[in-house]
Amino acid sequence: MEKKFQNHIISNFSFLKDKKLLLATSGGIDSMVMTYLFHKLNLNFALAHCNFQLRGTESNDDETFVKQFAKENKIECFTIQFNTENYSKEYKLSTQIAARKLRYDWFHELIEKEKFDYVATAHHLDDQVETFLINFSRGTGLDGFTGIPSVNGNIIRPLLIFSREEIEEYAKENQIQWREDSSNASDKYVRNKIRHQVVPVFKELNPSFLSSFQNTLENLKQEQSLINDAVQNAYQNVVIEENNQLKITISTLLSYTNYKAYLYQWLHKYGFSAWDDLFDLVHSQSGKQIFSDEYVLLKDRAFLILSKIEKKENEEYIINSITEKPNFPLNFELCNLSDISNSLKNIIFVDESKIQFPIKIRKWKEGDYFYPSGMQGKKKVSKFFKDEKFTLFQKQDTWILESKNEIVWIIGYRADDRFKIDNTTQHTIKITFTNEKNI
């Protein structure tokens, strides 16, 4: 058993050697087995534990357990406490989604701040089966069936090929300690039903069910890649990007008998829901429009034209002083020098003396240029967008912070070199941007 674990890590995760790793550790059996395993392999890692404060003292005991374990084994350990309930209410998210967002946002913060190379989570094969069947029970498409990837950017899931049974055996053999019931998922009831009532039937019908399931996942992933090819190929034939709009040429679109499938694939990320009406647009009279929260699709003679709904009234925000709380989710904070850490996507540190109030937040416009931090010289913002492969709508969504007609920050993406702190800086301003949608 141990050999299988180690061989898997050695052969499929060889890139972890000499990397700085962060293990997401709830204190449950899966993450403790993962920790033990990484320890055995002498990998260089720290632990990260989220206390979502959803189960009172139990949550706190989990935190204590992980901290204690880390201390005893001399492993660096990061912990954080989230007010998950409040957060989920504020952003109108389910507890589950809120917890996931808080967790991964924090991981990414730690990656940047502490220079980790990868974060590992302890998802295993039974998690995959359960998620598949939960999605099946709710109704889904192929994307609900393809599972979570074992490597996704800097998030890795090294236990994905192992069953719960194997992990339990390994924990027993190696007398690994763990905390029961450390899941915070609000889909717990559903997951337990699937785990205890459905999956055992499949395992009874097919003794090698889990391995068949792995093949199924692999097949579906391959098929997903074919879909991506078809979607991209047709997009190139049918869609024109111009003037901040996507123009879909109806005649070319209709050369695909399954054009509805293409429209869905191209447009579902823009939040449309009235799909039948949207499909009908192809044949309806010019001028008809279908709306999502932020986008509109217009039938305009030979085209369907997708554009962002402009909210003109919100286009500029003036902030008069550092103490003013702007009508925009941007926070200011005067810092001691000792508090300064690296800039993050949503946080920058600037020299107070270089900023001149009032400052302004506005959308990008043609002709804008700035001095990207970490680079020599100036750059057109449009060139920056192009290099970063921004989509049309990402460009439109991006906010600019400016002081005296100079760009201070492409908010959420890149600071300007002219305003950065240096060894002459007396006072530092920390600017935090918390607009959910743009980060």
C-alpha 312/C-alpha 208 separation (Å) is 59
23 phi-psi bin (left φ>0, alpha ψ -120 to 50, beta other): beta
C-alpha 185/C-alpha 99 separation (Å) is 8
Tell me how far, at minimum, the Cβ of 282 lies from a copy of itself, in Å. 16
255 belongs to an annotated ligand binding site: no
* Stretch of residues binding a copy of itself (CB under 8 A), selected from 44-52, 118-126, 197-205, 338-346: 197-205
Query: Under the criterion CB under 8 A, does residue 392 sit at the interface with a copy of itself?
Result: no
Query: Under the criterion CB under 8 A, does residue 238 sit at the interface with a copy of itself?
Result: no
Return the number of the residue (259 or 409) whose C-beta is nearest a copy of itself: 259
H-run or E-run covering 4: helix 2-12
Q: In the stretch 261-300, what mask flags binding to a copy of itself with x, by CB under 8 A?
A: xx-xx-----------------------------------
Residues contacting residue 158 through CB under 8 Å, at least 6 positions apart: 8, 9, 12, 13, 16, 34, 120, 150
23 has which bridge partners?
Answer: 47, 120
Tokens 């192992």 belong to 162
Return the number of the residue (156 or 194) whose C-beta is nearest a copy of itself: 194
Helix, strand, or coil (residue 14): helix
Whose CA is closest to 252, among 228, 272, 235?
235
CB distance 161 to 125 below 8 Å: yes
Query: Under the criterion CB under 8 A, does residue 118 sit at the interface with a copy of itself?
Result: no
C-alpha 139/C-alpha 136 separation (Å) is 5
* Stretch of residues binding a copy of itself (CB under 8 A), selected from 41-49, 61-69, 216-224, 330-338: 216-224
Query: Under the criterion CB under 8 A, does residue 142 sit at the interface with a copy of itself?
Result: yes
Return the number of the residue (193 or 362) whose C-beta is nearest a copy of itself: 193
Query: Under the criterion CB under 8 A, does residue 233 sit at the interface with a copy of itself?
Result: yes
Tokens of 328: 């925009």
* Stretch of residues binding a copy of itself (CB under 8 A), selected from 20-28, 214-222, 343-351, 375-383: 214-222
C-alpha 177/C-alpha 434 separation (Å) is 39
List residues binding a copy of itself (CB under 8 A): 136-142, 145, 190, 193-194, 197-198, 201-202, 204-206, 209, 211-213, 215-216, 219-220, 222-223, 225-227, 229-231, 233-234, 256-258, 260-262, 264-265
